[in-house]
C-alpha cells in the first residue's frame, strides 16, 4: 500500500508514525483512513467501559450486557483498523487507474473501466466504516446509565469520535460516487449512507443526553443490533 511498507498494516505503526505519515505529502493515509482509525478508538472506548463495569456488584443487573458489549467493541475496533488499510489501498488503486495510459481509444476504455471499478471500491469501503460507526454509537447508548458511572464521559467521547468518523467516511462515499459510472448504484449508496449518518447523529445525541442526565436505567431485554 502506498504510504506504508509493503504488507504493513497501519495497526503495526506507532501513533506517532501514523500521524507523521498522515501529515506527509503522500496521498495515503488520508481522511478515509483517519476516519476509520478515529472510529476504532471509539469502539475501543466502548469495550473499555464495558470491561470496567464487569464484576462490579453495583452493576450486576447489567452483567449480560457488559459481557456482550466488551467483545463486540473489541471486534469493531479491529474491523475498523482493517478498514483503514482497505481505504488507503482503495485510494491508491484509484490513483493507479487514473495514471493508466490513454493515448488510444482502447487505452481510454480500459482506463475508464479501471477508474470506475476503483471508485466503486473507494465508495464501498467508507460506507462500511459508517455502518460500523452506527454499531458503536448503538452500543454506547446501550451502556449509558447501565455501566460504570466513573467512565460515563468515555461513552461521550466514543460517541463524538464515532460521529466525526461517520461524517468523514460519508463524505468520502459521496465524493467518489460520481466516478462510479452506475447511476443506480450511486443513488442507492447515497440513500444508504445518508440514512446511516442520520441514525449515527441521532443515537450519538442520545448518548450525550443520557450521560448528561446521569440517571441509572433498567436492564434491557435484548442487546442492540444496529
Domain range enclosing 81: 26-213
| Statement: residue 2 has pLDDT above 50 | no
Is 182's pLDDT higher than 80? Answer: yes
Q: Is there a domain that residue 17 lies in?
A: no
Domain membership of residue 15 (yes or no) is no
Q: Tell me the pLDDT band of 3, cut-offs 50, 70 and 90.
A: very low
Q: CA of 135: how far to CAs of 3, 42, 177, 199, 203, in Å?
A: 29, 11, 24, 10, 10
Summarised one tens digit per residue, pLDDT across range 185-196 is 999 999 999 999
Asked whether the predicted pLDDT for residue 69 surpasses 60, the reply is yes
Stated pTM of the model: 0.93
For the cut 90, the answer to whether the pLDDT of residue 223 exceeds it is: no
Using left for φ > 0, alpha for ψ between -120 and 50, and beta otherwise, residue 55 falls in left
Domain membership flag for residue 224: no
Q: How far apart are the first and last CA of the chain?
A: 31
Within-domain flag for 8: no
The CATH number covering residue 64 comes to 1.20.120.680
Domain count across the chain: 1
Peptide bond into 162 cis (omega under 30): no
In a domain, 36, yes or no: yes
pLDDT tens sequence across 125-154: 999 999 999 999 999 999 999 999 999 999
In-domain check, residue 2: no
pLDDT digits (tens, 9 = 90+) for 98-127: 999 999 999 999 999 999 999 999 999 999
Q: Is residue 226 part of a domain?
A: no
In this structure, is residue 164 part of a structural domain?
Answer: yes
Band of the pLDDT at 1, cuts 50, 70, 90? very low
Give dist(CA 165, CA 167) in Å, integer.
5
Query: What angle, 0 to 180 degrees and rounded to 10, lies between the N-to-C axes of helices 183-213 and 152-176?
Result: 170
φ, ψ of residue 18 to 5 degrees: the values are: -65, -45
Residue 50, CB half-sphere, CA atoms under 13 Å: how many?
25
Per-residue confidence (pLDDT) for residue 8, from 0 to 100? 77
∠ CA 93-95-96, nearest 5°, is: 65
Amino acid at each position: 500500500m502506498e504510504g506504508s511498507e509493503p504488507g504493513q498494516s497501519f495497526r503495526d505503526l506507532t501513533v506517532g508514525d501514523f500521524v507523521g505519515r498522515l501529515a506527509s505529502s503522500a496521498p495515503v493515509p488520508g481522511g478515509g483512513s483517519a476516519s476509520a482509525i478515529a472510529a476504532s478508538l471509539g469502539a475501543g472506548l466502548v469495550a473499555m467501559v464495558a470491561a470496567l463495569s464487569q464484576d462490579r456488584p453495583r452493576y450486576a443487573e447489567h452483567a449480560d450486557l457488559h459481557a456482550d458489549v466488551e467483545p463486540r467493541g473489541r471486534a469493531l475496533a479491529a474491523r475498523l483498523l482493517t478498514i483503514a488499510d482497505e481505504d488507503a489501498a482503495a485510494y491508491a488503486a484509484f490513483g493507479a487507474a487514473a495514471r493508466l495510459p490513454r493515448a488510444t481509444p482502447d487505452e481510454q476504455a480500459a482506463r475508464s473501466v479501471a477508474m470506475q471499478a476503483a471508485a466503486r471500491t473507494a465508495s464501498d469501503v467508507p460506507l462500511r466504516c459508517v455502518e460500523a460507526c452506527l454499531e458503536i454509537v448503538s452500543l454506547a447508548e446501550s451502556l449509558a446509565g447501565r455501566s460504570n458511572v466513573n467512565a460515563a464521559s468515555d461513552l461521550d467521547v466514543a460517541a463524538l469520535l464515532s460521529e466525526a468518523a461517520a461524517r468523514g467516511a460519508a463524505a468520502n462515499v459521496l465524493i467518489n460516487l460520481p466516478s462510479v459510472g452506475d447511476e443506480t448504484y450511486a443513488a442507492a449508496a447515497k440513500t444508504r449512507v445518508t440514512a446511516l449518518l442520520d441514525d449515527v447523529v441521532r443515537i450519538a445525541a442520545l448518548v450525550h443526553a443520557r450521560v448528561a442526565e446521569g440517571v441509572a436505567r433498567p436492564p434491557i431485554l435484548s442487546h442492540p443490533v444496529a
